[in-house]
Each structure stands twice: as structure tokens, then as C-alpha cells.
């Protein structure tokens, strides 16, 4: 982050645009190589496996539409995580925020008989509020009591699962054996675009949201301020940014986007709130955001990659009997590689600072510091 | 009924106590290790797979501990050498372990969700000669399996290493004032690496107990966030060993109640399962209020985190 030039250089160079891609692309390649070795150890041909992953996710509209359906929640959760991470806030509670948003959408979807054109927006707003309020808990604790938001978020994920599970099994349970809320009304349903999958309007909402945040981040003062908070909160504070208020806002906005992931699942995919419906989209969002480098447009690409892997993996499971969890392994190898700061000197921009040897042998320890709160 | 619940609370608390003791070392060394669940799941898998293949419990436990320590060393490598953020690396390692065990469950043991077999040996219950005849306490304390006793007997050992040895002093210095530790010539990264390995050791025992002692099966994600609850116990007790174990026991009791009470009263199990999480959040709020009051002149929000 220190090599951001102070002024925009006039000359166009493709290197400047490609440089941010080197990290993510090489991480994915390395992860695939490691995954290939793993597959070989399990006695399968890596090329067959990857070929099947590719064809099972991208070839033909049937497969592609499943991929797009699985991409949609990852765009939402990836964007939610990216917004918070960009501002240096550890919102790893997107899973819980998504569940809360889904519950809110599920309730608004069946309990409020609203005329058709208003019902979907109403459910979306309900989901956003649900997610934002759930995210407000760690945010308020962070801002006013200096409590580590990561631990609170991690605790709130299972809490949300239990709370929504309680609601779906006891007070609002639909009649029947399944633990779910009653089906939402038809007026609250997203349009379905494919007979092969539950691909729905949600994907356009997701992409539009990413584009909106890309513009917001790049072209508004507030977007710049949020980035500054992530880079150096103290500097941001002395620069006149109201860090507390902004951290609250960022966290709640992130939670709202997480809640929308839940709305998409309820309004577009399942048509009701089901207990324990999520296979961990909120956690996958962390991987998406890491691969995207917290850039909203990168989120779309990263979510598509992981969505395709998820979709291809079910074909893999059927054809070769390899567990679909191979994809989870690949995904988090990518995260590990991207989290590590390998020092490849030749990739770094040369600057005068590089030639100055470090003054003291003190290792950079700030990364592993933990505020005990 | 009551002694029944107390007996199962002791059993249920065992993996929590193991994991909490493991997490304690890294906590005291200033690393918030959120990968306890990952260590446990990989140990649980390695333990049951080895015990199934060899028929030996000892081999199973050793394999579990080694697998867990290997993963711990891997996390330490990424955090200490490659300077990956401990939170991100921890989350990645945990989900990597979840995914890897589910993958291997399918490919090696040929099962999709749950693996169980008659060929897995079980731990014999240990009847302590004189203790078991004591009226009320006897049946509670006696008749558990070996790893349960190891867990409870580890508590004083952990307290001793952290508070009564030179090495423990170093660990705590590293945690409280890393710069001072460096200035004093302590090899900070080496100490941190050691605490991470010990974390792996204890989580390995926790995982081996889960799949071989507590039940005789392996299910994907069978740790059920026990690592998080152990972390919660550590936070609640502010890192003091005996208190941490006591809180873990308390959480175990809450879990035992959440298993039993619904059968009796018809209450929703979810609400009782919430207890450990809510207690933790409450505890962190209380600690937060206290420290904020102490640093009132700083305004509570420390800008450099």
C-alpha cells in the first residue's frame, strides 16, 4: 500500500493494470497445482478432474446456469466482506448477517400481504435491515467498548444459526416435517431465468451493487475516507474523519449487503426460509474478498471462479466419487497464499526506501499483535 | 438424574478443556489462535483412521496429536515466517482442515457424512479402586476413560508451566510486551512457535478424544465449534489456567443441560445451546466496559487498535 504514487502518471502502461493481478492469479495457479498433487495422491488423474470441473461448470446452459446461481450468493457475501476488510474491519460475521437477512426476508415474504410491485423491495429492505442490525452488535462493541469485533463476529455466527433455527422450528414453523417458515407469497418471488437451476434476478442486483460500490469507492469522498480508515485509522482521525461513526456505518452497510445474500436465497432460490440452509456462503465470502483484493469488481470475478468450482464439484462427486470438499480445500489454499506476504523482491516497485536497510533487527510484529479486550 | 447430568458434563467438558488449555498457551503468547477447531477436526480424523487401520488406540491418539501439531506448525509457519495475519491464516487453516477431512473421509474411508465401524477399538472405563466407593462423588469421578483424566490432570501442569517456570515467564512476556521481550533477547518467534505446537498437542488430544473416546465415529465438522467455545472460556477467564478450565466445565454443564433438559421439559434445545455464546459475548462486554472506564481519557477507541 505504500507504493501508491502521489500523483497520477500521465503515461499509460499496461503493467500498471496487470500488476494487481499477479498475486491473485499466481495464488490460484499454485492452489490448483497443490490440489492436483492431492488428487494424484488420492489416485485420480488431476487432468481428468480439472477437465471435469471445467466442463461440469461452464459447458452448456444447464451447467452454466447452476454456476451463475451459485455465484450470486458469493458476490453478495464477498462484497460484504470486501467492504469491511477494505476499511480494516474484521467482519467475519457475514454468515450470521446473511442468516438474519434471510429470516427477515422470509418473514416479510409470507406475513405481509403487500401489492406485487412493492413486495420484493419490501423484503429486500427487511433483509438489509436484518443484516445491518446483526452487524451493529459487533460494530457498537468495537466502537464504544473497544471489544475485538472478530471474536464477537465468530460468536454471533453460531448464535444466528441457533436463533434462526429456533424461530424456524418453534414459533413460526410451517406445518409439516421440515424445519422452515411458511412459503413466501408469489408476489415476493424473484423471477427465475433457467429451468435447470434457481438462477434469478438476484444476480443482477448483486452485480449492480458491486458496480455501485466500485464507483462509490473510487469517486466519492466517503469512499476515500473508508479506505483511509483501513490504511491508518489514527491518520484518518487526525485528518478529520469521524472514525467511530464511519466504522459503524461501514459495518452496518457490510451487514446489509450480507443480509441481501440471505434475501436472494429466500426470494430467489428456496422460496421460504429453511433452517440451516447455508453451506457456508458467509465464510466463502472471505475467500472471495481475499482473492478480489477487496475490490468490488474483482469480487464478481472471484465469486464466479468459486461459484464455477462449487458447481463443477457436484459433477465431480457424481462422476468420479471425489468429495465436493476438494473445492473448499482449493479455496482456502488460495486464501492462505494471499494472506502470506512472500517477499518477491523482483515484483516490488523500486523506490528509494528499498535501498535503505532496516534500522533495527526488530521484525515486523504488528501483524500478529492482538488487542486483548 | 442430577448425577447423570454432572457425569455427562465431565465427559462433554473434556474436549473443551483440552482445547482451552491448548489455546491458553498461544493466548498468553499474544496470539489469538482461532484455528483450534481446525486442529481438532484433523486430529479427530487422523485418530480414528489410524485406530481403524491398526486396531491400536495408542497409535490412533499419537496420529491425531501428530496431525494436529503438523497443522499447528503450518499455521505458525504462515503467521511467523510469511507474516500472514493470524486471523485470516487461522480461518483459512480451519476451513482447509474441514474441507480436507471431508475430502479424505470420502476418498480414504469411502463415507459421505459419517464414518463408524465395529473395528474401531474403544477406551475401557477406568474404575478407581477406592474413590468409586465414595457415595456421591465416587460414581462421578470414577469410571471415565483415560483421556478424561489426562485432561483434568493437565490443568495444574499447564498452570505450573505458565506461572512457575522460566519458559512460562518468557511466554507471558512475549504476550504482554513483545518489544520488551525482543529487547531482553528472547527469541519471540521461537517462543510463539513453541506455544503454537503445544496448542496443536492439546487440540490433538481433544480431537482424538472426540472421535475415539466421546463417540466412536467421525462426522464432518464434528467439532461443532468447540474450539470457539474453548476460546470463549479463555476470554472469560482472561487467560488464567484454572479459571479457564472451570469456565470450560461450566460451558460443558450448559451443553449437558441442553442435551437433557429438552427431553424433560420440552424446551427448545437451541435456546440452551445459545448459553456459551451469549455468556462469552456478555463477558467480553463486561471486560470492555471495565477497560474503557480505565482508559476513559483515551475515549475508549484506540485508533491504532
**Nearest residue, CB atoms, B84 vs list A144, A326, A336:** A336
- The stretch B253-258 carries a mean pLDDT of 81
Question: For residue A23, what pLDDT band results from cuts at 50, 70 and 90?
Answer: confident
The region of weakest confidence among A103-117, B19-33, B198-212 is A103-117
Those residues with Cβ within 8 angstroms of residue A56's Cβ, 6 or more apart along the chain or in another chain: A63, A311, A312, A313, A314, A315, A316, A319
The region of weakest confidence among A13-17, A116-120, A168-172, A342-346 is A342-346
- The stretch A89-105 carries a mean pLDDT of 93
Question: For residue A360, what pLDDT band results from cuts at 50, 70 and 90?
Answer: very low
The per-residue pLDDT of chain A, averaged, comes to 84
| pLDDT for residue B179 is more than 70 | yes
Phi/psi of residue B148, each to 5°? -60, -45
Identify all chain A residues contacting B304, using CB atoms and an 8 Å cutoff.
Answer: 233-234
The CA distance from B141 to A302, in Å, is 53
> Cβ distance B204 to B251 under 8 Å?
no
- The stretch B78-82 carries a mean pLDDT of 90
Contact of B190 with chain A, judged by CB distance below 8 Å, is answered with: no
Across the A:B interface, residue pairs with CB atoms under 8 Å apart total 191
Question: For residue A370, what pLDDT band results from cuts at 50, 70 and 90?
Answer: very low
The region of weakest confidence among A43-57, A164-178, B49-63 is A164-178
| pLDDT for residue A233 is more than 90 | no
For A125, half-sphere exposure in the C-beta direction (CA atoms, 13 angstrom radius) is 5
| pLDDT for residue A357 is more than 60 | no
Longest CA pairwise span in chain A (Å): 71
Note the residue count of chain A: 373
The CA distance from A245 to A142, in Å, is 11
Identify all chain A residues contacting B268, using CB atoms and an 8 Å cutoff.
Answer: 166, 169-170
Q: Which residue of B has its CA nearest to A85?
A: B88
Supply the ipTM of this predicted assembly: 0.88
Per the model's pLDDT, the better-predicted residue between B88 and B273 turns out to be B88
The region of weakest confidence among A14-28, A310-324, B93-107, B130-144 is B130-144
Q: For the segment A28-59, what is each residue's pLDDT rounded down to a tens digit? A: 999 999 989 998 988 888 888 888 888 888 88
Question: For residue B300, what pLDDT band results from cuts at 50, 70 and 90?
Answer: very low
Q: Supply the pTM of this predicted model.
A: 0.86
Q: What is the pLDDT of residue A10?
A: 52
Q: Write down all domains in chain A, each with its CATH number in brackets.
A: 19-56+66-340 (1.10.3470)
| pLDDT for residue B148 is more than 70 | yes
Residue in A266, A264, A207, A199 with CA at minimum distance from that of residue A62? A199
Question: For residue A3, what pLDDT band results from cuts at 50, 70 and 90?
Answer: low
Q: What is the pLDDT of residue A372?
A: 36
| Best residue in B87, B174, B251, B296 for a mutation probing chain A (most A CBs within 10 Å) | B87
Question: For residue B206, what pLDDT band results from cuts at 50, 70 and 90?
Answer: very high
| Best residue in A151, A152, A321 for a mutation probing chain B (most B CBs within 10 Å) | A151
The CA distance from B180 to B194, in Å, is 19
Q: What is the pLDDT of residue B302?
A: 52
Q: Which of residues 206-225 of B touch A (CB under 8 A)?
A: 220, 225
Those residues with Cβ within 8 angstroms of residue A177's Cβ, 6 or more apart along the chain or in another chain: none
> Cβ distance A138 to A152 under 8 Å?
yes
Question: For residue B201, what pLDDT band results from cuts at 50, 70 and 90?
Answer: very high
Question: For residue A210, what pLDDT band results from cuts at 50, 70 and 90?
Answer: very high
- The stretch A243-251 carries a mean pLDDT of 91
**Nearest residue, CB atoms, B270 vs list A141, A146, A165:** A165
Question: For residue A20, what pLDDT band results from cuts at 50, 70 and 90?
Answer: confident
**Sequence-distant contacts of B271-274: CB under 8 A, at least 24 apart:** B271/A162, B271/A166, B273/A162, B274/A159, B274/A162, B274/A163
| pLDDT for residue B192 is more than 90 | yes
Per the model's pLDDT, the better-predicted residue between A194 and B177 turns out to be B177
Q: What is the pLDDT of residue B282?
A: 86
Contact of B130 with chain A, judged by CB distance below 8 Å, is answered with: no
Measured between CA atoms, how close is B28 to chain A, in angstroms?
10
Buried b / exposed e along B98-118 (16+ C-beta atoms within 10 A)? bbbbbbbbbbebebeeebeee
Helix then strand then coil, % of chain A, to nearest 5: 70, 0, 30
Q: What is the pLDDT of residue A365?
A: 39
Q: What is the pLDDT of residue A284?
A: 92
The region of weakest confidence among A282-291, B151-160, B205-214, B269-278 is B269-278
Q: What is the pLDDT of residue A362?
A: 38
Q: For the segment A132-169, what is each residue's pLDDT rounded down to a tens digit? A: 999 999 999 988 888 888 889 988 999 999 999 999 88
| pLDDT for residue A219 is more than 70 | yes
Q: State which H helix or E strand residue B115 sits in.
A: strand B114-116
Contact of B178 with chain A, judged by CB distance below 8 Å, is answered with: yes
| Best residue in A140, A154, A289, A309 for a mutation probing chain B (most B CBs within 10 Å) | A154
Amino acid at each position: 500500500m505504500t507504493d501508491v504514487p502521489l500523483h497520477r502518471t500521465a503515461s499509460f502502461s499496461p503493467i500498471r493494470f496487470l500488476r494487481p493481478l499477479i498475486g491473485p492469479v499466481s495464488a490460484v495457479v499454485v492452489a490448483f497445482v497443490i490440489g492436483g498433487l492431492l488428487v494424484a495422491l488420492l489416485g485420480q488423474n488431476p487432468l481428468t478432474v480439472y477437465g471435469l470441473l471445467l466442463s461440469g461448470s461452464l459447458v452448456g446452459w444447464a451447467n452454466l446456469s447452476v454456476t451463475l446461481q451459485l455465484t450470486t450468493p458469493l458476490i453478495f457475501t464477498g462484497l460484504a466482506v470486501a467492504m469491511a476488510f477494505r476499511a480494516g474491519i474484521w467482519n467475519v460475521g457475514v454468515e450470521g448477517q446473511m442468516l438474519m437477512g434471510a429470516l427477515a426476508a422470509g418473514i416479510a415474504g409470507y406475513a405481509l400481504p403487500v401489492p406485487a410491485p412493492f413486495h420484493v423491495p419490501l423484503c429486500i429492505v427487511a433483509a438489509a435491515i436484518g443484516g445491518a442490525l446483526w452487524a451493529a452488535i459487533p460494530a457498537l462493541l468495537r466502537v464504544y467498548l473497544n471489544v475485538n469485533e472478530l471474536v464477537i463476529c465468530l460468536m454471533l455466527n453460531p448464535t444466528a444459526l441457533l436463533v434462526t433455527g429456533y424461530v424456524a422450528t418453534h414459533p413460526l414453523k410451517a406445518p409439516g416435517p421440515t424445519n422452515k417458515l411458511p412459503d413466501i407469497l408469489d408476489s415476493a418471488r424473484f423471477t427465475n431465468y433457467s429451468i435447470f437451476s434457481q438462477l434469478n434476478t438476484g444476480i443482477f442486483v448483486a452485480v449492480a451493487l458491486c458496480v455501485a460500490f466500485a464507483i462509490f469507492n473510487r469517486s466519492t469522498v466517503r469512499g476515500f475516507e473508508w479506505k483511509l480508515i483501513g490504511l491508518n485509522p489514527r491518520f484518518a482521525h487526525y485528518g478529520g474523519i469521524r472514525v467511530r461513526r464511519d466504522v459503524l456505518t461501514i459495518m452496518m452497510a457490510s451487514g446489509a449487503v450480507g443480509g441481501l445474500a440471505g434475501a436472494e436465497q429466500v426470494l430467489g432460490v428456496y422460496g421460504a426460509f429453511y433452517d440451516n440452509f447455508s453451506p457456508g456462503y458467509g465464510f466463502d465470502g472471505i475467500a472471495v474478498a481475499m482473492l478480489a483484493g477487496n475490490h468490488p469488481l474483482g469480487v464478481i470475478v472471484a465469486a464466479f471462479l468459486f461459484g464455477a468450482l462449487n458447481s463443477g464439484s457436484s459433477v465431480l462427486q457424481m462422476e468420479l466419487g471425489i468429495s465436493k470438499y476438494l473445492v473448499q480445500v482449493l479455496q482456502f489454499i488460495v486464501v492462505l497464499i494471499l494472506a502470506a506476504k512472500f517477499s518477491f523482491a523482483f515484483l516490488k516497485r523500486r523506490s528509494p526506501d528499498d535501498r535503505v536497510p532496516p534500522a533495527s533487527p526488530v521484525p515486523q510484529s504488528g501483524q500478529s499483535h492482538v488487542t486483548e479486550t | 438424574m442430577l448425577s447423570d447430568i454432572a457425569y455427562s458434563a465431565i465427559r462433554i467438558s473434556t474436549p473443551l478443556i483440552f482445547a482451552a488449555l491448548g489455546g491458553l498457551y498461544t493466548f498468553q503468547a499474544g496470539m489469538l489462535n482461532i484455528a483450534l477447531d481446525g486442529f481438532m477436526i484433523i486430529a479427530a480424523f487422523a485418530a480414528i483412521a489410524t485406530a481403524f487401520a491398526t486396531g491400536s488406540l495408542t497409535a490412533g491418539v499419537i496420529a491425531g496429536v501428530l496431525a494436529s501439531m503438523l497443522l499447528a506448525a503450518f499455521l505458525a509457519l504462515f503467521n511467523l515466517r510469511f507474516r500472514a495475519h493470524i486471523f485470516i491464516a487461522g480461518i483459512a487453516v480451519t476451513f482447509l482442515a474441514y474441507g480436507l477431512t471431508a475430502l479424505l473421509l470420502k476418498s480414504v474411508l469411502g463415507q459421505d457424512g459419517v464414518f463408524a465401524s465395529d473395528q474401531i477399538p474403544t477406551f475401557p472405563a477406568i474404575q478407581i479402586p477406592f474413590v468409586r466407593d465414595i457415595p456421591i462423588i465416587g460414581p462421578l469421578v470414577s469410571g471415565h476413560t483415560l483421556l478424561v483424566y489426562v485432561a483434568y490432570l493437565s490443568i495444574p501442569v499447564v498452570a505450573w508451566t505458565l506461572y512457575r517456570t522460566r519458559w512460562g515467564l518468557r511466554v507471558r512476556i512475549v504476550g504482554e510486551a513483545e518489544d520488551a521481550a525482543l529487547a531482553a533477547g528472547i527469541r519471540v518467534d521461537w517462543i510463539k512457535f513453541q506455544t503454537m505446537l503445544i496448542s496443536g498437542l492439546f487440540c490433538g488430544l481433544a480431537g482424538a478424544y472426540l472421535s475415539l473416546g466421546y463417540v466412536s465415529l467421525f462426522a464432518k465438522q464434528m467439532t461443532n465449534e468447540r474450539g470457539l467455545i474453548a476460546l470463549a472460556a479463555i476470554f472469560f477467564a482472561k487467560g488464567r489456567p484454572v479459571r479457564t478450565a472451570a469456565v470450560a466445565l461450566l460451558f460443558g454443564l450448559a451443553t449437558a443441560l441442553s442435551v437433557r433438559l429438552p427431553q424433560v421439559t420440552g424446551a427448545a434445545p437451541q435456546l440452551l445451546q445459545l448459553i456459551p455464546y451469549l455468556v462469552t459475548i456478555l463477558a467480553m462486554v463486561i471486560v470492555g466496559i471495565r477497560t474503557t472506564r480505565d482508559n476513559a481519557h483515551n475515549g475508549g477507541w484506540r485508533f491504532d487498535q
